[in-house]
Amino acid sequence: MSAETAEAAVCGVWIEFLDGRGNLLDQHVIDEWHGRPVPQRGDHFHMSDVVGVRRYRGLVIARHFDLQYTSEGAPRMWVRLLVRVAKMPTPAAVAQFSPN
């Protein structure tokens, strides 16, 4: 690992949520990731723990790093995570209707 890469803190994460067949379900960008550990491949990931937008749970199947530079020349590390989503309940199973 080069010195530049080592000093570049992860500044943002781009997350792609995939179903069991590899189809894209959703994407989310978190641009304020400073100081947080990046999930490893094989880690369980729960989206509501991060931002609370949607409640995706799954397994990190891949991660990719991209080193970019600001206009001032400071290094910034972006991470792309691929997360295989655990089986989600269908909307009909979630809906709670009265028997009336």
For the chain, give the number of residues.
Answer: 100
**pLDDT of the residue at 38:** 87
Going by C-alpha positions, the residue among 33, 45, 38, 35 that lies closest to residue 84 is 45
Residue 85 host element (H or E) = strand 75-85
**Residue 59 phi, psi (nearest 5):** -120, 130
Domain ranges of the chain: 3-88
What tens digit of pLDDT does each residue of 18-57 get? 998 999 988 888 888 877 888 899 998 876 655 555 678 8
From the list 92, 86, 96, 79, the residue with the least C-alpha distance to 54 is 86
- pLDDT confidence of residue 93: 46
